[in-house]
Amino acid sequence: MPGPLDQKLAGVLGDRTAKALGRALDLHTVGDLVTHYPRRYQKRGELTRLDALPLETEVTVVADVLRAGSRSMMNRRGSRQEVLISDGSGTLTLVFFNQPFRVDPSKSGALKPGVRGMFSGRVRFYKGMRELTHPRYELFDGSGDEPPDPETDPEGAKAWHEVPIPIYPASAAIDTWNIRKAVALALENIAGIEDPMPLEICRTAKLMGYEPALRRIHQPQHDGDWMQAKRTLRYHEAFLLQTALLQRRAIRAMFAATPRTPQPDGLLARFDAALPFELTDDQKLVGTEIAEDLAGQVPMHRLLQGEVASGKTLVALRAMLAVAESGGQSALLAPTEVLAAQHLRSIVATLGPDLAAELMPTLVTGQLPAAERRRAALRLVTGQARIVVGTHALLSESTEFYDLGLVVVDEQHRFGVEQREVLRRKGSAPHTLVMTATPIPRTVAMTVFGDLETSTIRHLPKGRAPIETHVVPLAEKPHWMPNVWRRAGDEIGRGRQGYVLCPAIGGDDAAPSPEDADIDLLEPDDARPMATVAATLQELRVHPALAGRRIEALTGRMTGEEKDRVMREFAAGGIDVLVATTVVEVGVDVANATFMIVLDADRFGVSQLHQLRGRVGRGGLPGLCLLVTGAPEGTLGHERVTTVAATTDGFALAQADLELRREGDVLGASQSGARSQLKLLRVTRDGDIIEAARDAAAGLLEADPSLEAYPALRAAIERSSDEDARAFLDKS
């Protein structure tokens, strides 16, 4: 039988309101609604009489609407809405621009003659009248929310002024005050809900009860109520997530893995002996950690993070060789066809002809010709191919392995948890190595990858050339742009090559492709159009500074054959400039490429810019990165760009990225439901809560791995997990 939090909203609020909440905010149950927390609180403050309003001051007034209307503006496009209000002592005009719904009598909550409410904003004087522009307001509905008369009830009036008013994340379809009314009805239906937190943990962490916390965060009587409630509910979120992640890790540990141990004179020993360089200390340490995992009886689940060009793929290849010695296969999952093909060529070259012939590295992508796809499938199912590199095509039902012993996921942020699990289920408890070139702060690692062990490569191999990074601030210095192309021409004149990155493709289809990493571009600080590959390619081919140069495009919209041809030609030196989208963000490795020009750099995140910069300076030659931005100084976009230019330390940039980006961006849209679960918890500031909750969850699971003694906690974890996470726990 469903509990109070599982009740459908239609049965509590009525069908019309429930549908509006579902469409606008994706809220469908009582639990969804009562965990749709206020984003801030507003104080009513002391009321001011309209005949005594001070100018340029924040005021709060209670008044009646006398008249309301909308008219077109004379000197510019759009409309102006004016509402005249009065409290009996004077009048005041409320002004809105291009918001006709505010005065539309058919709309719920409209400002129309006869309604009464509370209005807040800054008073200004315009054409002889006092007015509030785009004021905040709350309309009274006769339910007793009107202020007590200070003459007859001074204490009640004072208390009314000081009660915090919750302001909710809302939409044009449903306003914050309607959400507040709906929440009030939902709270009437949660009496007696079980607290998911074990009593001993509540006492140790000094938490409120769950039901009182829900009530106080939505209906506080003073600031202390919602502050204490938020602390409790933050801890709840951290504890539920950490318990689910650690439980997932414990369940995986129950499976028996095939130990993969290299022989003294086997494949790995032969490979190491032929290496023309020495592994870095970090590579050796991480290699030892992975080797110990592979030799164990429990499947490895490890996250390998490291700087751009730090040699993670080499570490992964050595693990593949250890697995191959026992006849096992390794599958390397890459996010794009360009990267998959690049990985295959790099692996074949690194192995050398003899080992490559024995291990038969094989490519599997969705755009392989049918005959090649059949040959690849035969190599996989017979075990001939002991190293397999592919894209999402590896996840298809038709892809089968003989003995899948190791799953390697490159650039984890491009894949969700369930995609990793699909590939893992093609083997019998295979080991898993997840790689990222974006260093992850510890709190994020605990929050998103809490079910994985973590290894880190911090230092670059010897011989890596420095990369010089400069910001080209077009908002302040538009005349600098010709110098950018002259600098590119100078580099080409020295026999070098480079990239020009654009945030969009352009031409007949301006949208990014699904294979491009820029599918979630950041919004600019103004209305500037995006630079496109199509327009930039056309401009550069006729630019005097690049006359006669070989300039080609590379985007995710091209066929696999076209992309492979362009990349092969670029790697061979047949192309001087590659105008591309971020399909080249990861893995593309051309030693002669020395310059990277990123147009509209403010459109990209800090970590992505660091990744892009890492495509140059890989062959011992100094690299140059020019970050071109039209974002004005002082904007967030400009700050991102200057942050990247200030350092090449990926770990420092990861922390800066964490502080500059939205929380959802940090967590990602498909990482174990973390984005939807964390409504109050913030990895940017709540590291202490996350660590405390993780320790508490670990202690609880050690004593009761299946949570048999805590049914309310189990139910809460199931309610807060996404479908993929629940499916994993069910299958396990």
Distant-in-sequence, close-in-space partners of 111: CB < 8 Å, separation ≥ 6: 65, 68, 83, 94, 102, 103, 117, 137, 139
> Cα–Cα distance between 47 and 119 in angstroms, integer?
10
Pairing mode, if any, of strands 40-43 and 91-97? unpaired
What integer pLDDT is reported at residue 673 of this predicted model? 39
> Cα–Cα distance between 692 and 681 in angstroms, integer?
13
Q: Which tens digit of pLDDT belongs to each residue from 704-729?
A: 888 899 999 988 888 776 544 444 33
What integer pLDDT is reported at residue 141 of this predicted model? 66
Fill in the DSSP letter of residue 29. B
Task: Report the greatest alpha carbon distance in the chain.
Answer: 96
Distances (CA, A) of 683 to 22, 670, 676: 28, 17, 14
Pairing mode, if any, of strands 467-473 and 623-629? parallel
**Which of 274, 375, 387 is closest to 325 using CA atoms?**
387
- Quick check: 6 and 719 in contact, CB under 8 A? yes
Q: How far is CA 528 from the centre of its chain?
A: 24
Report the phi/psi class of residue 584: left, alpha or beta, with left for phi > 0 and alpha for psi in -120 to 50: alpha
Q: Quick count: other Cβ atoms within 10 Å of Cβ 662?
A: 9
Distant-in-sequence, close-in-space partners of 197: CB < 8 Å, separation ≥ 6: 207, 210, 235, 236, 239, 713
- Quick check: 487 and 595 in contact, CB under 8 A? yes
- DSSP structure string for 128-175: TEEEEES-EEEE--SSS-SPPPTTT-HHHHHHHHHSEEEE----SSS-
Predicted TM-score of the model (pTM): 0.63
What integer pLDDT is reported at residue 77 of this predicted model? 85
Q: Which tens digit of pLDDT belongs to each residue from 275-323?
A: 988 898 999 999 999 999 999 989 998 989 887 777 888 999 999 999 9
Q: Quick count: other Cβ atoms within 10 Å of Cβ 685?
A: 12
Q: Which amino acid is at 434?
A: V
- Quick check: 235 and 213 in contact, CB under 8 A? no
Two tokens at 68?
A: 């309301």
Pairing mode, if any, of strands 129-133 and 116-126? antiparallel
**Which of 93, 127, 126, 123 is closest to 111 using CA atoms?**
93
Query: Which domains does the chain show, CATH number per domain?
Result: 45-162 (2.40.50.140), 267-457 (3.40.50.300), 467-667 (3.40.50.300)
Give the relative orientation of helices 606-613 and 636-646 as an angle to the nearest 10 degrees. Answer: 40
Bridge partners, 533 (sequence order):
none
> Cα–Cα distance between 407 and 330 in angstroms, integer?
6
Distant-in-sequence, close-in-space partners of 670: CB < 8 Å, separation ≥ 6: 415, 416, 417, 418, 419, 724
SS3 content of the chain, % helix, strand, coil (to 5): 45, 20, 40
> Which residue ranges in the chain fall short of pLDDT 50?
509-520, 662-676, 723-732
Give the relative orientation of helices 281-294 and 312-324 as an angle to the nearest 10 degrees. Answer: 30
Across 411-442, b (16+ Cβ under 10 Å) vs e yields bbbbbbbbbbbbbbebbebbbbbbbbbbbbbe
